[in-house]
Amino acid sequence: MDAMNQPPREFVEPPEPRPQGPAQTQRGPAPMPRVPERRPEAAPAPEPRPEPSDREPSDPPAPIVTDDGPRIGANGLKPVSPKLIPARYIAGIPGYVIGVLMIAACLVLWWWQGWWWLGLVAVIPAITVVQGLLFTPRRARAIGYLDGEDELIVASGLMFRTVVTVPYGRIQSVKIDEGPVDRSYGLAKISFTTAADAGETLPGLPKEEAERLRELLTRRGIDTMAAL
């Protein structure tokens, strides 16, 4: 009776079974990279020790001093034309020929007459010819000038250096000269006189530069005298 009086139970459908996928393979941890083994480096060979020597260390060589270094008054100066070097060589040919003839005459008389002292006389023209051939380029490169605001600076000389400063107001006359050799190379020489001395000469200038300097010196000289 009790079983009949109990309320009917609700029918619950069982859950549908879920489709199972393919079995997943489980992967283990990634393998560690293989580290190459380090081989011990070979020890460096010991440096050979210098053998003891009874000699004392020599002094360092002395620096070579040349004449191409800075000269007095050379800072900021304008050089003359490089054509002055061949022009001076050509202009000096008569002197070189005379010197060679004198050397030859002394040597011939020494050999013919036995005058040994003529050998000493031949040394003088020989030195003159050699120094002219060797030092002409350096003497030409040692010449320079600078036209400043109030004065003209002229420097020349290799062994005996000379630097002259001439105020424009003291210049009395300006002259341009050119010989046949200078004319063939397009060069000119400018000369100017002052009230104190005979004047100065500046060789090896191109013709255009010589004309410019002549006009500059004349104009500034007149302006300076007028201002006084």
| Angle, vertex CA 82, rays to CA 80 and CA 86, nearest 5 | 125
Looking at the domain assignment, is residue 104 inside a domain? yes
The first and second tokens of residue 138, run together, are 């350096």
CATH code assigned at 173: 2.30.29
Residues 157 and 87 occupy one common structural domain:
no
Looking at the domain assignment, is residue 133 inside a domain? yes
Looking at the domain assignment, is residue 158 inside a domain? yes
Looking at the domain assignment, is residue 32 inside a domain? no
Looking at the domain assignment, is residue 36 inside a domain? no
- Tens-digit pLDDT string for the chain (228 aa): 444 455 555 545 555 555 554 444 445 455 555 555 556 555 555 565 655 444 444 433 333 333 444 455 556 789 999 999 999 999 999 999 999 999 999 888 888 888 888 888 889 999 999 999 999 999 999 999 998 888 899 999 888 888 988 888 888 889 999 999 999 999 999 998 887 776 789 999 999 999 999 999 888 878 777 776
Q: Which of 89, 112, 141 is the last residue of a domain?
A: 141
Burial readout 194-223 (b: 16 or more C-beta within 10 A, e: otherwise): beeeebbebbbbeeebbeebbeebeebbee
Contacts by 155-161 with C-beta closer than 8 Å and gap 24+? 155/71, 155/72, 155/73, 155/74, 155/77, 158/67, 161/71, 161/72, 161/73
Range of the domain at 135: 78-141
Number of domains the chain contains: 2
